[in-house]
Structure 1
Amino acid sequence: MRTPHVVVVMGVAGTGKTTIGPLLAARLGVPYAEGDDFHPRANIDKMTAGVPLGDEDRWPWLDAIGAWAHGRAGLGGVVSSSALKRSYRDRLRAAAPGIVFVHLTGDRKLIEDRMAHRRGHFMPTALLDSQFATLQPLEADERGVAVDVSGSPEEITERAAAALDALDSSTRSDEAGPSPR
């Protein structure tokens, strides 16, 4: 697999970004950055209190992730970020045009169950509805893949790596132009 991309592992809370991100980074042989670490304290305090973040709260966070991704351009890396809206992903792409998204998707009940059983995270299950309400899945013109979160972390990681490899292969084919007959 060729990957000097920066890969953004995205999705609603509870999809496993913090679990899959480091596993995918290890699989790709690139560094991992935890998106939650880029949040200013005020954002963490809001979410801990059960208050959803607004766009104005997210811009500095997205800019910090974008700066990290920009610094990894050509070197590769994996970073987690909910990146729920197209405008958020556009902002990340503006900072680091070569980024690729892995959208972790799955059954709401499964995601809610996983959220309910995780320990030590500031995001309460009560905010899951706001996450789903905000979510705008990847559009056809956005470079990325959707990966189902059912199964073990290792299975999800392998599906993500395979989907990225297939995306890279299709991009190389597109860049090469039509094959001769």
Structure 2
Amino acid sequence: MPQPPPILRVSPDGTIRVEVEAVEWGSSRWVYSPRVIDVPTGRVVLDLWNTDWDATIDFPGPRRVGFDFRRYHEGGALSAELDLERGTYRVVSEHGHEGPRPEAPLSGIVAGLEESARRTVAASGWTAQPAIIPPNPWAAWRMGLVIFVGAFVAIGTGAYLTERYKAAQRKPAVLDTVPHLELPPIRR
């Protein structure tokens, strides 16, 4: 299945663009990972594409973007807010902690989110799911070949056995007596 195009969200003041990458991590389980771009400078402020960070987005004020984050494999949930005007972020809420965490520079946001997620997991007692190992791209071809060969052998064996037993059960038709036939009278 081809990768869907990114979902684009733009802040009401037009200064923040959030591109969301939608990736199916499991059967009908989609992860929406954000990339935040400061439109006036073109700078990527936060890039969580190709990760298991799943987020919902809102814009709580000018030059600010808020996220409710979840981790698909690692576990944990938290809320964070980026203030591009001030160049800071803060974790607004996380499990096991009352109130928001102190502001920190945007340059350390990925490490800060990781640390917050670890604290959240520790506070909740959640255990991580085993990582999903993607299948070998040739696995489908191998399975198709096995099915094809199996079907070929089954059809051949069935045809051979049918012909062999059909010949053994076939008896030649022998006419012992001539059956009596009543013929209609001939009209002239």
Higher relative contact order (CA 8 A, sep 6+): 1
TM-score by length of structure 1 reads 0.27
Pick the structure with greater CA Rg: 2
Q: Which has the higher helix share?
A: 1
TM-score by length of structure 2 reads 0.26
Q: Which has the higher strand share?
A: 2
